Amino acid sequence: MAVNMKGIARDLGVSTVTVSKALRNHPDISKTTRARILDRVKELGYRPNLTARSLVTGHSSLIGLIVPDLIHPFFADVAKGLSSAVRQRGYFLLISSSEEDPELEAQEIDHMLAHRLDALVIASCQTDPTALRNVQRGETPLILVDRSFKSFPSYFVGSDDYAAGKLATEHLVNVGCRRIAHIRGPENSVGIRRLKGFLDTIRRHGLAIPEENIIRAPRVDVDGKLNGAAALRQMMALPEMADGVFCYNDVIAMGVIKEALSQGINVPEDLAVIGCGNLHYDAEIRVPLSSIDQRSNQIGGRAAKLILEILGSETPMEFQDVILQPKLAARASTERTARSSSTPAKTGAQRRSAANV
Amino acid sequence: MAVNMKGIARDLGVSTVTVSKALRNHPDISKTTRARILDRVKELGYRPNLTARSLVTGHSSLIGLIVPDLIHPFFADVAKGLSSAVRQRGYFLLISSSEEDPELEAQEIDHMLAHRLDALVIASCQTDPTALRNVQRGETPLILVDRSFKSFPSYFVGSDDYAAGKLATEHLVNVGCRRIAHIRGPENSVGIRRLKGFLDTIRRHGLAIPEENIIRAPRVDVDGKLNGAAALRQMMALPEMADGVFCYNDVIAMGVIKEALSQGINVPEDLAVIGCGNLHYDAEIRVPLSSIDQRSNQIGGRAAKLILEILGSETPMEFQDVILQPKLAARASTERTARSSSTPAKTGAQRRSAANV
DNA sequence: TTGAAAGCGCTACCAA
DNA sequence: TTGGTAGCGCTTTCAA
């Protein structure tokens, strides 16, 4: 790798400029010269130093991606889609995880920008958008994915979380649930919108929502299973237990199902459960999980498309939101025939004693 | 971001050299000068251009990682471990997926090297190591993970696949299996060593291995579930069906279990099933899956440690292998009391008709 | 303690 | 069609 353009130029008795142009298929190099140069390049296994090129051209062919968790299948999906879409245009992805820590995320943003990225994609865990605002002050286009911020206009690619909440809740109503609970997510755009979709749908159907049927689960994306189980126990402690529950994500839903079964509550007969994300947990779990597919596999690709547009446009482009429509994926965990809401419900206590027989 | 050292130097009436030194805590800058500079830097939100720095220093603070699949939980684990370990030292990860395509992998290697990485980590899908040999000819340290190559010495971090095969098979023997099948993986170091661990263990116990009990599954890491199901049907077609099976990975094992249950074969009573990888599929599947934990969460961290050693060492370091020892994770899919091998076995045909009753 | 000069490997610009 | 010159933003070296 110690070989550089100067060396090749010297070997062939041409100038570095000629080599440079030949390598980039510049039209004003003669066929024979180009051939000579390419031959030598191949012979030496030479590759132009992209660091040097970046310094001159001002673009790095690097796109940054910061996600809260690299292992989470949703973000892995996003990363994969983004990576494969930009690869074809010669970009690489600089990936980093914020571990759901706003402070760490801010540091990583700062560090990434020092690498002079051509674009920065973030599924941000910030509670307020100050750090992101700083990015926008610079010259690196910022694309938010999954999570956005009120009163912070930006490019955004994500799914319609309000619609997700609506779809899930509507589905529970359709299969006959009348006392529907929601295990809600964090105080970010995603959690808030899913909750709103839930509430509006419940209201539209004239159903009641006792305050205590909205359950708050901490750290939903990390300890989901444990939190789901805990949330279920919380639900059972209520005087009138729900007959359906919309869970913020699939992992929580799985925790709910597991705990329900071990407490003698039948899913879906006693409790219909639906998650959100549709993240490959479908097939082998004991009760295949109904979920809302939020198109995680498309988000990366759409973000890539948006980035390429932004980078290709001469004049500054206006911010835009790309909102993907979620889709119901109904499976066994909500598969029951609609029954009348007049069926008297067992209380949590009743259920528990039934389970202990 | 249009701000650079020259600007700061001009503003403060010092030279760029002074600014540069102050930023890197060079000892020979006076306290007051340094303070003045750092103040101004903070005021402007200035960050040194790492591209320019790289060009001069010759190192990029970039580490490349190429894996066959970004979504595969094993590689996601590796990526996460690697990323978090090198982050603290100021490195970023340039990540790319080869999609299990050797040609594409070779291209990506080439492209990555053009970015003048400080190290390159690959879970390679090459069938022969020529492309990797080319990397070693250059100056970028190459670290293989998960998969290695015979007669290609290099730095390597992975788990002991022979031991994994041995552990899994030993466990099946211990729970009473006597006709043990293996759904084998690809013709790479991982597949071959797990197979060898399997074969040696079977032999050591004086058990028979009819040729047809070693089943070959294509594309094990992509269509695992389908292939697992197909492999099970293949097993059922044999005159004497196995009573235990060691599957190359967890996803195949899940496919086997699913198909077995739907064919009326009880797991683990009729067929004990063990996978390999221990990749978070444990809890909610119908029959919790026994597996071999291959320490995927440690591989990235160990690779990082090795890289930092290599980069820190003045003299060229010798190649070394870091081999992590796998561990049995026994769960329900192999949980049966050892029974005598004299129990007559149903044939696949008999089982099938039983299932159709 | 500070800074002038040189140069990392490449590309842009303009002249030949 | 070719190439000399300048310079991207920084660090290194060495002289002041």
- Quickly tell me which residue has 């009753």 as its tokens: B357
**What single letter denotes the amino acid at residue B348?**
G
pLDDT of residue B285: 67
Closest nucleotide to A28, Cα to C1': D1
A5-24 tens-digit pLDDT: 999 999 999 999 999 999 99
pLDDT of residue A235: 95
Strand A92-97 and strand A62-67: the pairing is: parallel
**Terminal C-alpha separation, chain B:** 74
List the nucleotides on chain D closer than 7 A to a protein CB: 1-5, 7-13
Residue B303 CA, nucleotide C9 C1', distance (Å):
31
Strand A119-122 and strand A272-274: the pairing is: unpaired
d(CA B249, CA B227): 11
Residue ranges and CATH numbers for the domains of chain B are 5-48 (1.10.260.40), 59-159+297-324 (3.40.50.2300), 161-294+328-334 (3.40.50.2300)
Question: Model pTM greater than 0.85?
Answer: yes
> Residue A133 has what DSSP assignment?
H
Mean pLDDT by 10 residues, chain B (357 residues): 87 94 91 94 94 96 96 94 96 96 96 97 96 95 96 97 98 96 95 97 94 88 83 94 96 91 94 91 73 96 98 92 97 77 39 29
Residue A58 CA, nucleotide C5 C1', distance (Å):
25
- Quickly tell me which residue has 């198909």 as its tokens: B259
Both tokens of B288, joined, read 């919790």
Q: How many C-beta atoms surround the C-beta of residue B150 within 10 A?
A: 8
Question: Out of A92, A138, A286, whose CB is closest to B284?
Answer: A286
A234-251 tens-digit pLDDT: 999 999 999 999 999 998
pLDDT of residue A282: 52
The three-state secondary structure class of B64 is strand
Test A116 with B48 for CB contact under 8 angstroms: no
- Cβ-in-10-Å burial (0-12, 13-18, 19+) of A200 comes to middle
pLDDT of residue A284: 59
pLDDT of residue A343: 41
Question: Out of B49, B51, B71, whose CB is closest to A80?
Answer: B71
Test A225 with B283 for CB contact under 8 angstroms: yes
Specify whether the CB–CB gap between A161 and A182 falls below 8 A: no
> Hey, which residues does A293 pair with through a beta bridge?
A277, A327
Residues of A in contact with B259 (CB under 8 A): none
Q: Give pLDDT < 50 ranges for chain A.
A: 1, 339-357
